[in-house]
Chain A
Amino acid sequence: MGGYIIRRLLSLIPVLLVVAVVVFLIIHITPGNPAMIILGEGATPEQIEELNQKLGLDKPLIAQFFIWLANIAQGDFGDSYFLGKPVLIAFLENAGPTLSLAVLAQLIGVTIALLFGIVAAKNQGRMKDDLISGTSLIGISIPSFLLGSFLIMIFAVQLKVLPVSGYAPLSQGIWEHLKYLILPAITLGTIQAALITRMTRSSLLDTLSENFIKTAKAKGVSERAILLKHTLRVAFLPILTVIGESFAGLITGAAVTESLFNIPGLGQLIVASINRRDYAVIQGAVLMITVVYVLMNLLVDLLYAVIDPRVRNSYQA
């Protein structure tokens, strides 16, 4: 099992290299130059050239790439042109809010999804099932800024029970911290729930039609036990994949929701950096996100092994 993990971790390296090359090329080929943006309107070509030299942007592209790679290998992701601080620090500062938001949103999403998915599967073909299918269709289709604005309008503006926007770190108290995250978490969680519900429902239905379930029914096992103990455990594998992928998506920063609720997370950081052509941050952040994504996938695969002994054996091979 340990060998399996090591092999997976080593496979990170080629993945990161490919991502590094692609992201570097794309942002450097895109028109627009950070020096022009830093200096603003009224900057003379000489000033821009001076700043370019200072930032090392006048060197040939290949040289810039290898310098950057060499620095990364030593753990130096460079400094942000705009924030005046190392990219790593900026990333970690912004990762906190996104992590909290992602965990909360995923909890909400998974809870709703499992509940709805089970009810839908149990009542297949009947009204409850149609209702749930319809609602999850709306959930998938609704844009996050629309749902978010809607929630702000009802809970923050009309009912005034929650703040409109902003963020308080955990250090200010758990309720303070959660207060600002509830609405954005519901926004993101609803969309997550919609995705996971459908997978839950179809996975459960597939498993329910298996022979061993028919045997259990014949044996007289209660409906509840069949659903929760026997079916869910087996059906959970594909659901787990969807959960893992959607969580990785949340971690990489839901830029629109973060900007709507003014949460200083990774999504906001990356979008702002792209607009400002802050190359160091964009490159560093994309690499770090790739690492998160790959590790997430590894985690899901390991959980598979925990849940399913058949998978455990195949890893040992």
Chain B
Amino acid sequence: MKKTKYKWLSLLLVLFVIAGCSSNTGTTSSSSNTKDAVQDGGTLNIAFQSEPTTLDPQITGNSSVKDATRSIYEKLVILDDSGNVVPDLAEKIDLSDDKKVYTFQLRKGVKFHNGKEMTADDVEASINRWIKLSSLGKTNFIGAEVKKTDDYSVELHLKTPNVNTLALLADPIPAAAIMPKEIIEKAPDEGATEYVGTGPYKVKEWKQNQYLTLEKFADYSSEGRELKKESHVDEIKISFITDESTRISGLTTGQFDIALGISSDNAQQVEGAQTASIKKAPGGFLGLFYNSQKGFFKELNARKAVNAVINSEDILSSSYGSADFYELTSSIVNKQFPNYYSEAGSAEYNQHDPDKAKEYLKEAGYNGQEIKILTSRDYQDQYNTAVVVQQELEDIGVKVKLEVYDWATFGEKLTDTSSWDLYPVDWAARSTIFQGFWTSYGAPVEESTKYLDAIKASADVEDARPAIDAAQQYVWDTLPFTLIGHKVALNAVANKVEGYEFNLGPVFYNISLKNN
């Protein structure tokens, strides 16, 4: 009997045990309670989930582009962390009585990264391009134009008044970024290839597939502005790490100071290492979208049936685990943005009432047809939602088929509205109710437009309150989609990072590094 055979087995087991059990007995440096003065210098290392597709923030809605370009470019206006519009490159803003002309007085002495001073020529060229190319520009600024009135002022002429105008100009992506006129004139529609802005950091090097380095722009000053931007660290190095475990390992070893896109499963591991903490922020909402144009769900009672049976808690906890990582709320816009937060229609939210659902089903005249749910495994939470919804529907006697594809195929299948009935998807967090889901495939566009127009026609955001509530109520009464709840976005920030903020995306200026 070869008893020595087991020597190697036990050796291997010991190795596994050592590696597995050794939790980081972190030498927890007792945090000194003395308030250190902000330290300048150093390199901030960040791990992104994906590489930006371009560094031209005017032409795309990609969130990696938003996060990277936030420190490079500036706009006429900017959003504070409650979603209010605050002047940035504009010093003063006036609105004509007919609400169709906005006059912007520009700040003087603002330098571009190439040394040139920003003037009305640059603003005119930049915003007209944004109106022409960006999705926000194309949908909200039809027929609008910016005209220079003198060297430091421009007028924006709208065809119809829109109370949202300034908020749209302040949107972080696609951003109405101000670039030099010469670059705008040369820039192809697919994306500018020269990256010159007025922000606190400028582009140093972009090594595709690997990293992007930004360096401090010495001639930057946010003196006199309400929202200050300071560049304390000398360099920001953004690495593109698609694998989450590699991002986390890098954070733990100190290779990265910030790691974006942490899933709820790993939040505890990050906190446990005690070298970093998890920062939570509104992560957008998860919704179940109906095909209101063709098929069974053209009928309101059919949509009411699904809405009645949905148990939001079950769905959200299946994807995000603990209640720390999701929010049960009936409002499309998160309560962090009080201007558009609304509790209208909340009675219809999260009913989880199978009996009521069965009644609606009967009224809708369901007679055994198969309901198709379209989804993709590329986004685990969307897939989980589809699975739970399938279960809940089958429990009330509905036949459901799950069609699972990769993301690219999913996008294409969506365009054929005769091939699906439902699909779950999440939409990024925004400070207003205006987003692309109103006009996505299968949505009742004609119906919803009048509610959105009513908001736009209001005199200002406070006056818009009844119209905002009406739009939210419409969503719950007519159910173009069922809002399941809000996600919480998790990012990991090392303890030595000070001044980190999140405002519709991580903000990298104002950050300084503590060296203890």
Contacts and interface: CB of A to CB of B under 8 A. Distances in A.
To the question of whether A and B form a pair in one complex, the answer is yes
Contacts of B8: 131, 134-135
B409 A30 contact: yes
Given A40-B61, A261-B246, A127 B22 contact: no
Given A45-B415, A152-B246, A167-B210, A157 B239 contact: no
B175 to A, nearest CB: 14
Nearest to B16: A150
A259 B209 contact: no
Contact of A43 (B135, B193, B250): B135
Given A150-B19, A152-B246, A259-B242, A264 B408 contact: no
B62 A40 contact: yes
Contacts of A36: 408, 411-412
B46 to A, nearest CB: 13
Interface stretch (A158-166, A192-200, A229-237, A296-304): A158-166
B4 interface: yes
B379 interface: no
B10 to A, nearest CB: 13
B409 A32 contact: yes
A149 B247 CA distance: 12
B383 to A, nearest CB: 16
Nearest to A166: B239
Main SS at interface, chain A? helix
Contact of A33 (B190, B242, B412): B412
A260 interface: yes
A227 B249 CA distance: 45
A262 B243 contact: yes
Q: Which range holds the interface residue count of chain A? A: 35 or more
A32 B411 contact: yes
Q: Which of B138, B210, B246, B439 has the most CB of A within 10 A?
A: B246
A34 to B, nearest CB: 8
Given A31-B412, A40-B60, A130-B2, A268 B250 contact: no
Nearest to B51: A272
A108 interface: no
A154 B19 contact: yes
Interface residues of B, number: 42
B460 to A, nearest CB: 26
A44 B441 CA distance: 10
Contacts of A259: 242-243
Given A40-B62, A41-B61, A130-B5, A83 B208 contact: yes
Contacts of B242: 259, 262
A137 to B, nearest CB: 12
Interface string B50-76: 000100000011100000000000000
Contact of A153 (B19, B61, B406): B19
Nearest to A149: B245
Interface string B431-467: 0000010011000000000000000000000000000
Contacts of A152: 245-246, 249
Nearest to B15: A154
Given A41-B61, A261-B246, 5 more contacts: A37-B408, A157-B249, A164-B253, A165-B250, A262-B240
13 contacts: A31-B405, A31-B409, A33-B408, A33-B411, A37-B408, A93-B209, A134-B8, A156-B249, A157-B253, A165-B250, A166-B239, A259-B243, A275-B408
A-B pairs, top 4 by smallest CB distance, nearest first, are A32-B408, A264-B209, A42-B436, A31-B409
Interface of B: 2, 4-5, 8, 19, 22, 53, 60-62, 135, 138, 190-191, 193, 208-210, 239-243, 245-246, 249-250, 252-253, 255, 405-409, 411-413, 415, 436, 439-440
